[in-house]
Amino acid sequence: MNQISLLAPGHSGCAGCCDAMAAKFTLMGAGDNCIVVSPTGCLEVMTTPYPETSWDVPWIHSLFENAGAVASGIEAGLKALGKKEKTKVIAMGGDGATLDIGLQAISGAFERGHDFTYVCIDNEAYMNTGVQRSGATPYNASTTTSPAGKVSFGNPRPKKNMPAIIAAHGSPYVATTSLAYPKDMIAKVKKATEIEGPTYIHCHAPCTTGWGFDTSKTVEVAKMAVKTGLWPLYEMENGVVTKVRKLGKVKAPVEDYLKMQRRFKHLFTMEGGEEEIAKIQDIANMNIEEYGL
Amino acid sequence: MPRETTMDKSKMVVVEGSYAVAHSVKVCRPNVISAYPITPQTHIVEDLSQFMADGEIPKCEYINVESEFSALSALVGSSAVGARSYSATTSQGLELMHEVLFNVSGMRLPIVMTVANRAVSAPISIWNDQQDSIAQRDTGWIQLYAENIQEASDMTAQLFKISEDKDIMMPSMACMDGFILSHVYEPVVLLEQDITDEFLPSFDPERTLDPSNPLTFGAFADPNYYTEFRYLQEQAMQTALKKIETVADEFSDMYGRYFGGLIDEYQTEDADIIIMAMGSIVGTIKDVIDRLRENNVKVGLLKVRAFRPFPAEAIKNVIKDAKVVVVLDKNISLGINAGALFIETKSVLYNTDIDVPVTGYMIGHGGRDIPTSTIDKIIDDAKEIMKSGIKTESQFTDLKEELV
């Protein structure tokens, strides 16, 4: 089985697209015996322009907000027809579809305990419609609906803690990962899809277009989020953190991460920007302490 | 020719409408049922849960979802993997499903859903009218309206057969008036398992989500392709026109019961006045007609069973020789002061040589009772129209002027 071919080349994603990488790694972890549901988003648009498709596994798009429910139905249908044993069910959607509009359907699916894996490809805004803020947009990021301006540093709220929300549903397995660490992601997806019950992978996925960095730097930017402590990589089993990827003694300052991206550019030019950067450093420091990075 | 239905009285049992429908769903051998409670639909999914709890529906998964939105969304997934899929809803629940309704028909998933018709808010009302399903008329779902409990029950099996036809593959709603049919006990013949097994083959779709043959469902279509998808949906609806009639005939041959195909007729052959209506109100109208016929008033009933697809030709054939047509609507399309059946009926007569006056009444909103005296009054109006022509095209009936 050539796992790489499960997401065929030739999609219409941007150069350096995070979704393409995250989807490819997800399928490498899950294998070919799966059914994928994707809510509305870049991934759906760039891979399925009728009559073409990039998917070498069965794939369905329904609506923006119902991937959790559609996955529930796929699982229930397979069970009823006696086909569930051998087939994995995966939902794969962006942060808007996951943390915002689709949260209810995901919550329902996890509470009911359907056997499927949800993969959130988190590029921290509504990229498909022009970089508007979502519940996953980090503190002080400038987006088209939370722009930096004369009296604003951008998004005024920190990211919603989606892995914790899912863990609170009693999920047997929740993990964070990053597309910069393919082996980490593939292994976690594999583990998630092999565990019975609703499991969750939250993948940090820098978007070259929305964040404003060179198309060759996706992996570099993603790595820096991890190295600063802003995106800790960990696993939770039955609500308890069981494994953390340590950073070692030399941790990068958040400044190194922020200055790589246009969405934080204002922090380096506006008056009071230094204090704001310090607040972001505090967020990283809290993660470092909480997860023992 | 209108056909009489024969009921085997020895097989009759007195059950609640919701139970009869739930029993029909059971013998149709569904694979996935999704359920979210909303009055007056609840008894149907409660009865189905009990059947599940008693092990009476084998090879079926029952999903207690967290909203009507997810109730239908879950069936998108189950139907796409090839599972026969069913849910029931009403009113606000159906409106919450609105976006998914388009999605289901666009993906050609033959889901069947019972709608226990109820008014929509605001003001909130749990009682019956047909505004909820009429508001979904453009979503690409086949809609049949039941006259009584027996028909609501029988319709379920008919709709699975129609929806799952390979040339159609469109979802459908079995519409029954909330409370009036869902919560009333009537003598009915419950669908027999052995006959239903013969009538309704197992669901065997040509295309499913299957790892051994990966297909992409729900791709996005640019302007080069989108129109053709819509065209094909409409073609399927037109194909369903014939199929609804064929299936009603097949059902009649096997079970001995017939409630009409696209439409049904009562005393229409020589009728000067023809009343058109959908749902449980047709029973009341039949009683009034029986009484008036004794006094030689030439009045007949055109029961509209299929609202989508709309049976334009069948309706034209029945009303072409009438002197007045009266259309009753338990809904209103706000902004044109008329109900949907009235608007559609007038629309199909344009560009024809049928020149019959059509008048409309909006009736029974939010569960307001429709006594026979109201039907009498409407027929009196119709007699007046025969003499002096139409003065008011469409109007509310039994409006309490003192409250407005």
pLDDT tens, residue by residue, B48-72: 999 999 999 999 999 999 999 999 9
A99 in a domain, yes or no?
yes
Pairing of strands A152-153, A199-204: unpaired
Tens of pLDDT, residue by residue over B317-374, are: 999 999 999 999 999 999 999 999 999 999 999 999 999 999 999 999 999 999 999 9
Of the candidates B137, B218, B79, the residue with the CA atom closest to the CA atom of residue A43:
B218
Does residue B344 contact residue B394 with C-beta atoms inside 8 Å?
no
Q: Which of B32, B73, B225 sits opposite A77 (nearest CB)?
A: B32
The structure tokens listed for B196 are: 């239903």
Of the candidates A45, A68, A70, A73, the residue with the CA atom closest to the CA atom of residue A60:
A70
CA distance B253 to A155: 67
Report CB contact under 8 Å: A62, B107: yes
CATH of the domain at A57: 3.40.50.970
Instruction: Name every residue in B having a CB less than 8 A away from some CB of A.
Output: 31-32, 34, 59-61, 63-67, 69-70, 73-83, 85, 99-100, 103, 107, 208-211, 213-222, 225
Tally the domains of chain A: 1
A1 in a domain, yes or no?
no
Q: Which of B69, B78, B219 sits opposite A49 (nearest CB)?
A: B219
Report CB contact under 8 Å: A33, B211: yes
Does residue A222 contact residue A206 with C-beta atoms inside 8 Å?
yes
How far is the alpha carbon of A6 from chain B, nearest alpha carbon, in Å?
10
A6 in a domain, yes or no?
no
Report CB contact under 8 Å: A77, B81: yes
Report CB contact under 8 Å: A108, B82: no
Report CB contact under 8 Å: A60, B209: yes
A110 in a domain, yes or no?
yes
Q: Which of A35, A87, A108 sits opposite B65 (nearest CB)?
A: A108
Show Cβ contacts of residue B138 under 8 Å, excluding neighbours closer than 6 positions.
Answer: none
CA distance A154 to A143: 7
Using 50, 70 and 90 to split pLDDT, how confident is the model at A4? Answer: low
CA distance B312 to B305: 12
Residue in chain A nearest B103 by alpha carbon: A62
Report CB contact under 8 Å: B82, A77: yes
Q: Could you give the percent of chain A with pLDDT greater than 70?
A: 99
Q: What is the pLDDT of residue A5?
A: 74
Does residue B87 contact residue B101 with C-beta atoms inside 8 Å?
no
Q: Which of B81, B218, B222 sits opposite A62 (nearest CB)?
A: B218
A12 in a domain, yes or no?
no
Query: What residue type is A65 in one-letter code?
Result: E
Does residue A1 carry a pLDDT above 60?
no
Query: What residue type is A164 in one-letter code?
Result: A
A2 in a domain, yes or no?
no
Place of tokens 């294998």: A31
Residue in chain A nearest B203 by alpha carbon: A81
Torsion on CA atoms A207, A209, A210, A214, rounded to nearest 10? 70
How far is the alpha carbon of B103 from chain A, nearest alpha carbon, in Å?
7
How far is the alpha carbon of A167 from chain B, nearest alpha carbon, in Å?
19
Report CB contact under 8 Å: B78, A74: yes
Does residue B116 carry a pLDDT above 80?
yes
Interface probe, candidates B63, B87, B104, chain A, greatest A C-beta count within 10 A: B63
Q: What is the pLDDT of residue A142?
A: 98
Does residue A3 carry a pLDDT above 60?
no
DSSP B338-381: B-HHHHHHHHHHTTSS----EEEEE--GGG----HHHHHHHHHH
Place of tokens 């022509």: B389
Tens of pLDDT, residue by residue over A48-96, are: 999 999 999 999 999 999 999 999 999 999 999 999 998 999 999 999 9
Of the candidates B348, B383, B162, the residue with the CA atom closest to the CA atom of residue B275:
B383
- Name the DSSP class of B333: B
Beta strands per DSSP E along B241-318 = 263-266, 273-277, 299-304, 306-308
Does residue B127 carry a pLDDT above 50?
yes
Does residue A26 contact residue A93 with C-beta atoms inside 8 Å?
no
Q: How many other β-carbons are positioned within 10 Å of the β-carbon of residue A97? A: 31
A chain contacts of residue B103, beta-carbon cutoff 8 Å = 62-63
Q: How many other β-carbons are positioned within 10 Å of the β-carbon of residue A253? A: 15
The domain in which residue A278 lies consists of 18-291
For range B281-307, the mean pLDDT: 97
Does residue B201 carry a pLDDT above 50?
yes
Of the candidates B99, B137, B133, B139, the residue with the CA atom closest to the CA atom of residue B118:
B133
Give span(s): CATH 3.40.50.970, chain B.
Answer: 9-255
Tens of pLDDT, residue by residue over A183-225, are: 999 999 999 999 999 999 999 999 999 999 999 999 999 999 9
Report CB contact under 8 Å: A35, B81: yes
A chain contacts of residue B97, beta-carbon cutoff 8 Å = none
CA B222-B224-B226 angle, 5° bins: 60
Of the candidates B317, B314, B316, the residue with the CA atom closest to the CA atom of residue B305:
B314
By three-state DSSP, how is residue B273 classified?
A: strand
Residue in chain A nearest B225 by alpha carbon: A50
Using 50, 70 and 90 to split pLDDT, how confident is the model at A2? Answer: very low
Report CB contact under 8 Å: A62, B222: no
Q: What is the pLDDT of residue B4?
A: 64
User: Which homologous superfamily is B9-255 in?
Assistant: Thiamin diphosphate (ThDP)-binding fold, Pyr/PP domains (3.40.50.970)
Show Cβ contacts of residue B55 under 8 Å, excluding neighbours closer than 6 positions.
Answer: none
Report CB contact under 8 Å: A50, B70: no
Q: What is the pLDDT of residue B363?
A: 98
CA distance A278 to A255: 9
**CATH number for the domain whose boundaries are B263-403:** 3.40.50.920
Q: What ipTM goes with this model?
A: 0.96
Of the candidates B314, B345, B318, the residue with the CA atom closest to the CA atom of residue B248:
B314
**Cα separations (Å) of A178 from A18, A19, A226, A249, B140?**
10, 11, 8, 20, 42
A161 in a domain, yes or no?
yes
B chain contacts of residue A79, beta-carbon cutoff 8 Å = 61
Question: Whole-structure pTM over 0.80, yes or no?
Answer: yes
A46 in a domain, yes or no?
yes
Does residue B1 carry a pLDDT above 60?
no
